[in-house]
């Protein structure tokens, strides 16, 4: 085994004078199956192609891009595991100072909107070479989309990148088919029939049947669906919401139609999604000869921090039918579960025990949702996923298969491997699905063997009207889960805790909902160390709500907290004990008329101002804590009253 070519010397050592495919990555080169660039390049290598990688090239000049020469067939481009804008900026649009996917964890190794920047640079240095984009950034921006950082609707990334093809979703099947057609001499502009791809072309370059469909005023003919144009969705939020719903419903390989969206005088065409990978195909992908670590050239910088989370983890499956509104999995991996075989996973676990640095702990055996190891129902195999309902929301479907036995058997086998001390589950347990299982065997063993004192779960919120917009189960389900968790731990005589993950300022959450969430955390006795503001990333239902103020599922209006001050108050309420949050919490409670939560009683969130000031001074508090105790008078009081009126108007 060895790393793929990253220098001319690497190519010469293999006897190569030219690559077949050049892969440009926004992440540092980590040869591990958790990284898309490793999977795609290793897969192409296994098909007999000569492949090289240029990681994080400098876009200021073209020098880095030409180090491996002009490839024979195409340049493949991805911004990395994470959208470059999400990677660079926080939810409050502040520049991040660290990048776990870069040498030494330092930021600044890739440009903003990396796919566009890399693609246009390749067009400069290798004129006429086919450019194929993929990965999460390209996948989620394939249509006209709301961009949080520009605060406007942007065109398809196909137009701005000038790419010839876009591979969306998990790209193994499409990239093999594209490579085959290119090798057979088919021009890239003629490759129009590959599932899991999108392209952009003028009307005269489209197939005859698509042209006829468009000329017939589009609509929906069972095979194609014409979306509202870029110009329409950029100007009309209702049109945007309706168009997004169509896109959202057509991401299934069995039922999905070809989608067409006009951009000025050109058209974006999305072919139906790629067929789900078989167990055999999944096994092959994860059996490729990965080095399972970063390229040795990064050692002098301190390595690549991102490897720490996945180095001793195993991906057991792909896809998720959970249907969370804020998640882009529907658009990328899809709702259909794609499995690896038990033996494939066992073999990988054994390999982990041979790795340097392995201390007996496997950090994860899971996927997007760890306990979704098989299809949601038998109907999905032939009829695809349902368009008009989710598997778990608002109530579990009667056809849902609830069974943890296969996953439990897998975990038992991994635990028995010599050298394995403990197997953790970190990729997330869907607690509502777990509570549907009448057999407590998995729940019992989860608590007994797969938790290291704390189980992180994601209720996201506890107020039902917010959970409804999130596509999550009501609070009663979570409360039932928490109760059962502690009952089981008492039974097995273990002291373990639940750490809930919450989101502030999600569409549908007003200040009153944020106060209710703070009260829940008070009763739980839990104060989150970190709070995640809702982040409007491309291609999610929640982002559509954020931009349009409409829920595309029912076109009802949704309250959206956008003002920085209100978002800061919602976030502060989740950490109401922190002295630096006192002012924001105090103001939020005044605005919502919850003065009953300011006082000395056990149900109060904060103390009155004078008492808070004395307490801070007595404790030798910081200047922030002392300042937090100053009285609000004059214009400050008027602002509170104005905010309260505004809140009332917004709700009605």
Delineate the domains of the chain, giving CATH numbers in brackets: 8-196 (3.40.50.2300), 201-273 (no CATH), 279-651 (3.80.30.20)
Angle of helix 279-286 relative to helix 172-183, nearest 10 degrees?
80
Q: In whole angstroms, give the CA distance from residue 487 to residue 483.
A: 6
User: What are the average pLDDT values for consecutive 10-residue runs of the chain, which has 652 residues?
Assistant: 91 97 98 97 98 96 95 98 96 95 96 98 96 97 97 98 96 97 97 97 93 80 90 98 96 94 97 96 97 96 95 95 91 91 97 94 94 92 89 93 96 97 93 95 96 91 96 94 96 93 96 96 87 94 98 97 95 94 96 95 91 66 49 47 49 40
Angle of helix 279-286 relative to helix 36-46, nearest 10 degrees?
100
Q: Which of 498, 359, 339 is nearest to 410 (CA)?
A: 339
For residues 543, 544, 548, 554, the Cα torsion angle rounded to the nearest 10 degrees is -130
Whether residue 386 is annotated as binding a ligand: the answer is no
How many Cβ atoms sit within 10 Å of the Cβ of residue 426?
17
pLDDT given for residue 639 in this prediction: 54
Question: Within 129-229, where are the H helices?
Answer: 135-139, 157-161, 172-183, 208-215
H or E element in which residue 361 lies: strand 361-362
Tell me the Cα Rg of the chain.
26
Tens digit of each residue's pLDDT (9 = 90 or more) over 232-262: 999 999 999 999 999 999 999 999 999 999 9
Q: In whole angstroms, give the CA distance from residue 604 to residue 589.
A: 11
H or E element in which residue 184 lies: none
pLDDT given for residue 133 in this prediction: 98
Q: Which of 505, 550, 546, 512 is nearest to 647 (CA)?
A: 512
pLDDT given for residue 45 in this prediction: 98
Q: Which region holds residue 416: left if phi is over 0, alpha if psi is between -120 and 50, else beta?
A: alpha
Q: In whole angstroms, give the CA distance from residue 280 to residue 292.
A: 21
- Degrees, nearest 5: CA angle 359-365-371: 150
For residues 135 and 115, the answer to whether their CB atoms sit within 8 Å is yes
C-alpha dist (Å) from residue 187 to 209, 226, 245, 298, 544: 21, 27, 34, 37, 37
For residues 165 and 133, the answer to whether their CB atoms sit within 8 Å is yes
Q: In whole angstroms, give the CA distance from residue 330 to residue 390.
A: 11
Q: In whole angstroms, give the CA distance from residue 158 to residue 266.
A: 11
Q: In whole angstroms, give the CA distance from residue 268 to residue 260.
A: 6
List, in order, residues 6 or more apart from 25 with CB less than 8 Å away: 37, 53, 54, 55, 56, 78, 80
Q: In whole angstroms, give the CA distance from residue 527 to residue 581.
A: 13
Q: In whole angstroms, give the CA distance from residue 597 to residue 577.
A: 13
pLDDT given for residue 597 in this prediction: 96
pLDDT given for residue 643 in this prediction: 52
- DSSP letters along 71-101, please? -SSEEEEE--SS-HHHHHB-TT-PBPSB-TT
Q: In whole angstroms, give the CA distance from residue 511 to residue 592.
A: 7
pLDDT given for residue 389 in this prediction: 87
pLDDT given for residue 649 in this prediction: 45
Q: In whole angstroms, give the CA distance from residue 364 to residue 450.
A: 9
For residues 39 and 169, the answer to whether their CB atoms sit within 8 Å is no
- Degrees, nearest 5: CA angle 164-210-163: 10
Q: How far is CA 543 from the centre of its chain?
A: 13
Whether residue 324 is annotated as binding a ligand: the answer is yes
How many Cβ atoms sit within 10 Å of the Cβ of residue 509?
29
List, in order, residues 6 or more apart from 442 with CB less than 8 Å away: 371, 404, 405, 407, 408, 434
List, in order, residues 6 or more apart from 319 with CB less than 8 Å away: 276, 329, 333, 334, 335, 336, 337, 338, 367, 368, 372
List, in order, residues 6 or more apart from 5 with CB less than 8 Å away: 11, 14, 16, 19, 50, 51, 52, 53, 68
pLDDT given for residue 609 in this prediction: 84
Q: What are phi and psi of 314, to 5 degrees?
A: -130, 130
pLDDT given for residue 634 in this prediction: 45
C-alpha dist (Å) from residue 284 to 287, 348, 394: 5, 12, 37
Q: In whole angstroms, give the CA distance from residue 163 to residue 122.
A: 10
Q: In whole angstroms, give the CA distance from residue 631 to residue 612.
A: 11
Q: In whole angstroms, give the CA distance from residue 542 to residue 536.
A: 7
H or E element in which residue 234 lies: helix 230-235
Whether residue 59 is annotated as binding a ligand: the answer is no
For residues 598 and 628, the answer to whether their CB atoms sit within 8 Å is no
pLDDT given for residue 626 in this prediction: 46
pLDDT given for residue 616 in this prediction: 65
């Amino acid at each position: 085994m060895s790393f793929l070519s990253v220098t001319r010397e690497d190519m010469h050592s293999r006897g190569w004078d030219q690559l077949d495919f050049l892969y440009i990555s926004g992440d540092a080169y980590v040869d591990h199956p958790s990284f898309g660039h490793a999977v795609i390049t290793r897969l192409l290598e296994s098909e007999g192609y000569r492949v090289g990688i240029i990681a994080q090239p400098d876009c200021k000049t073209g020098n880095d891009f030409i180090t491996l020469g002009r490839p024979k067939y195409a340049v493949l481009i991805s911004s990395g595991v994470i959208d470059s804008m999400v990677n660079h900026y926080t939810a409050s649009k502040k520049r991040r100072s660290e990048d776990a996917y870069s040498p030494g964890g330092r930021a600044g190794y890739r440009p903003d909107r990396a796919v566009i920047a890399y693609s246009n640079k390749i067009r400069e240095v290798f004129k006429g070479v086919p450019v194929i984009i993929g990965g999460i950034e390209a996948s989620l921006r394939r249509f006209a989309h709301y961009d949080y950082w520009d605060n406007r609707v942007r065109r398809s990334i196909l137009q701005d990148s000038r790419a010839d093809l876009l591979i969306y979703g998990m790209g193994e099947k499409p990239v093999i088919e594209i490579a085959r057609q290119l090798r057979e001499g088919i021009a890239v502009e003629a490759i129009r029939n590959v599932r899991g791809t999108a392209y952009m072309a003028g009307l005269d370059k489209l197939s005859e049947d698509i042209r006829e469909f468009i000329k017939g005023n589009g609509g929906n003919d069972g095979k194609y669906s014409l979306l509202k144009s870029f110009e329409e969705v950029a100007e009309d939020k209702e049109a945007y919401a309706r168009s997004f719903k169509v896109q959202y419903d057509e991401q299934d390989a069995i039922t999905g139609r070809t989608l067409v969206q006009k951009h000025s005088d050109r058209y974006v065409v999305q072919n139906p999604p790629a067929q789900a990978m078989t167990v055999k195909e999944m096994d092959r992908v994860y059996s490729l000869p990965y080095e399972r670590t970063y390229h040795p050239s990064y050692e002098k910088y301190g390595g690549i921090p991102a490897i720490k989370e996945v180095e001793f983890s195993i991906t057991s499956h792909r896809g998720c039918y959970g249907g969370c509104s804020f998640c882009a999995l529907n658009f990328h991996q899809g709702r259909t579960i794609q499995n690896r075989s038990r033996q494939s996973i066992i073999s990988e676990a054994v390999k982990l025990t041979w790795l340097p640095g392995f201390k007996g702990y496997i950090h994860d055996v899971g996927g997007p949702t760890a306990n979704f190891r098989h299809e949601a129902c038998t109907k999905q195999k032939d009829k695809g996923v349902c368009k008009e309902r989710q598997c778990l929301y608002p109530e579990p479907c009667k056809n849902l298969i609830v069974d943890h036995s296969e996953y439990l058997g897998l975990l038992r086998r991994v635990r028995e491997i010599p050298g394995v001390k403990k197997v953790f589950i970190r990729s997330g347990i869907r607690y509502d699905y777990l509570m549907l299982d009448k057999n407590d065997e998995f729940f019992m063993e989860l608590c007994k063997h797969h938790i290291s004192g704390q189980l992180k779960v994601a209720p996201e919120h506890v107020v039902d009207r917010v959970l409804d917009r999130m596509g999550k189960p009501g609070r009663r389900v979570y409360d039932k889960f928490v109760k059962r968790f502690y009952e089981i731990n008492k039974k097995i005589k273990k002291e373990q805790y639940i750490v809930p993950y919450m989101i502030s300022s999600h569409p549908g959450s007003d200040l009153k909902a944020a106060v209710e969430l703070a009260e829940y955390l008070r009763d739980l006795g839990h104060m989150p160390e970190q709070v995640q503001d809702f982040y409007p990333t491309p291609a999610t239902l929640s982002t559509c709500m954020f931009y349009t103020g409409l829920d595309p599922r029912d076109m009802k209006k949704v309250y959206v907290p956008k003002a920085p001050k209100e978002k800061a108050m919602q976030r502060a309420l989740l950490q109401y004990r922190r002295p630096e949050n006192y002012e924001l919490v105090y103001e939020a409670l005044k605005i919502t008329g919850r003065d009953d939560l300011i006082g000395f009683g056990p149900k109060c969130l904060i103390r009155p101002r004078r008492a808070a000031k004395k307490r801070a001074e007595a404790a030798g508090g910081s200047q922030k804590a002392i300042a937090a105790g100053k009285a609000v008078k004059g214009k400050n009081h008027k602002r509170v009253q104005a905010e309260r009126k505004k809140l009332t108007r917004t709700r009605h």
